[in-house]
Amino acid sequence: MSDDKDGLKKWVRRLNEEEFPLFAHTARSIASLSTDDEASVHELAQVILGDNAMTARVLRMANSAYYNPLNQRITTVSRAIVLLGFDVVRSIALSISLIDTVLTGGRHDAALGELVKSFHAAIQAKEFASVRKSSNTEEVFIAALLNRLGVVAFWCFPYGNDEALIDAYASTSQPEDVENAEKEVLGFTLEQLTSALSKEWQLSSLLMKALSHSDTRNKNILDIERGFRIANSVEKGWDAKPVISVLEEISEEINKSLKAVKDIAYDNSQKAMRMIEKFGIQIAGQFIPPMQEDAVSGMAFVGKKTDDGADLQLDILRELSTMLSEQVDLNTILVTVLEGILRSLGMDRVVLALMVKKGERLASKLVLGEGRTQFEKSFDFPLNEKDNVFTHLFELNEPLWMDRKMRADLGPLLTPDIYNAIGQVEFFAVPICVAGKPRGVIYADRSLTREPLEKHAFLTFRHFCEQANIAFTILGR
């Protein structure tokens, strides 16, 4: 038994350190955020905006028919969280992170197949939980999506055991026989691997309950189990006995006719297929039967492409105006300002820093972009010991463009701690004022690309910062 446990620990360590480190970090960061904590909303935005590819894909999904049926154009992550809700955007980000990990892994066909079934099951579980008016449908979705994480991980990175397990699976059909085959080949079941990974990465309390099979009265867990029964059986057709059996259970549970429940499940399956394809996986049709009387390919919603440059600037500025008129909370507006600067101006790092300790220090409050976590720690400077570039900025109370010429003039004001934090880069900085008095600064640079800053970018940067000052005036306390 100790050998089995040691084998499981080795797998968890190997996946954690060698194969899934980015997913582990992202999943842990996202899963730990609480929907009840206002700070978590902005932390979620920062996690997403730290990855340009994830940002683009989150916005693409936010503009899809499934999440945005009214087709309200969403151009910022902050607005997506406001309109769709924290839990929905968290689910999207976690889904993208898992898919990216699988697509960059071993790409074993079985891994993609398991991923498709997990998405299908997750949509079925979420939608039937919604029919029951469950209050935490997104938690149901995440718990179902990650329910086969160990299986997906194994088929992505089989370490030479795949052929042996394929042979074992070929001679078994019942769930208990499958588990025995896994134990014989690996020394543990892949469900145990899922449970160990979930515990290691602190993914979901509902997932842990579902994997323990201890709470048979929990209706959310029943939704997850039934979702998988549908996803695993529907390849044989919608009239197959295992499918009808689970649909009859749901029919009795929610007090709807079998035909009505079948129609709901059918619709759910097509939603799942369109979502899976929008995430970039094109094999969903192999596992989900197409609708008989519908040209599914013609139903796929094509999200509006996010424009770059001037169009994106205008879109985000319009969103800011809407958010100000709606008096959305101050932090959400400030994250949107920083997102606008980061994405529309091609910046690598953007910081909102505020005076703290009675004005004795300038410390980061919000950071987006490259190396966010480390930069957040290092962007912390004294304001009362001696002159530096930020005390100079507050004295002038004017925007600053630190280019080569300005660096020659103000070089002595780049103290060692500031220089060590920001490096030798051009940057923009604007003081943030409340009641006419400086209270902080918005800073931006292109530290990664090292592309030169230009006049148009400086003017647009100032325009975004004006929105932050307006927000402080209207909403600040």
On whether both 73 and 185 belong to a single domain, the answer is: yes
Based on DSSP, count helices (H) and strands (E) in the chain, helices before strands: 24, 6
Question: Residue 402's beta-bridge partner residues?
Answer: 427
Let me know if 237 is exposed, middle or buried by CB neighbors in 10 A (0-12, 13-18, 19+): exposed
Q: Decide if 456 is inside a domain.
A: yes
Structure-block tokens of residue 179: 């588990």
Cα 338 to its chain centre, rounded Å, is: 18
Q: How far apart are CA 463 and CA 179, in angstroms?
A: 61
Co-location of 292 and 360 in the same domain: no
Q: What is the C-alpha to C-alpha distance for residues 424 and 404, in angstroms, rounded to an integer?
A: 10
Query: Does one domain contain both 250 and 314?
Result: no
Report pLDDT for 106: 61
Domain C-terminal end among 299, 319, 339? 299
401: its two tokens: 């463009």
Each residue's pLDDT tens digit, 253-299: 999 999 999 999 999 998 998 888 888 887 888 888 764 444 333 33
Same-domain status, 148 and 201: yes
Nearest alpha carbon to residue 412 among 386, 437, 433: 386
Same structural domain, 54 and 184: yes
Beta bridge partners of 430: 442
Integer angstrom CA distances of residue 41 from 35, 45, 337, 364: 7, 6, 15, 17
Instruction: Confirm whether pTM is higher than 0.85.
Output: no
Q: Do residues 74 and 120 touch, judged by C-beta distance below 8 A?
A: no
8-state DSSP, 291: P
Provide the Cα torsion 150, 156, 160, 165; round to 10°. Answer: 50
Among residues 275, 299, 323, the one where a domain terminates is 299
Does one domain contain both 314 and 219? Answer: no
Closest to 469 (Cα-Cα) out of 322, 350, 320, 344: 320
Q: What pLDDT was estimated at residue 257?
A: 92
Q: Which residues of the chain have pLDDT under 50?
A: 1-2, 291-307
Do 284 and 430 lie in one domain? The reply is no
The predicted pLDDT at position 454 comes to 93
- Both 291 and 344 in one domain: the answer is no
- Please tell me the predicted confidence (pLDDT) of residue 38: 66
Residue 328: which domain range? Answer: 309-475
CATH number at residue 209: 1.10.3210.10
Domain membership flag for residue 304:
no
pLDDT at 352: 96
State how far the Cα of 332 lies from the Cα of 273, in Å rounded to an integer: 33
**CATH number of the domain bearing residue 336:** 3.30.450.40
Does 330 lie in the same domain as 259? no
Q: Would residue 441 count as lying in a domain?
A: yes
Torsion of CA 162, 91, 77, 427, to 10 degrees: -50
Note whether 287 and 427 are same-domain residues.
Answer: no
276 shares a domain with 341:
no
Query: Which residues are registered as beta bridge partners of 444?
Result: 350, 428
Model pLDDT, residue 312: 86
Apex 88 CA angle, 82 and 93, nearest 5:
105
**Residue 67: inside a domain, yes or no?**
yes
Cα–chain center distance at 206? 19
Which of 230, 265, 299 is at the close of a domain?
299
Q: Residue 99 in 3-state DSSP?
A: helix
Contact 209, 218 (CB under 8 A): yes
- C-alpha 81: how far from chain center: 11
Q: How far is CA 431 from CA 260, 317, 337, 351, 428, in A?
A: 60, 19, 14, 12, 10
Per-residue pLDDT tens digits for 224-258: 999 999 999 998 889 889 999 999 999 999 999 99
Q: State phi, psi for 357 to the nearest 5 degrees.
A: 55, 55
Same domain assignment for residues 322 and 457: yes
Structural domains counted in the chain:
2
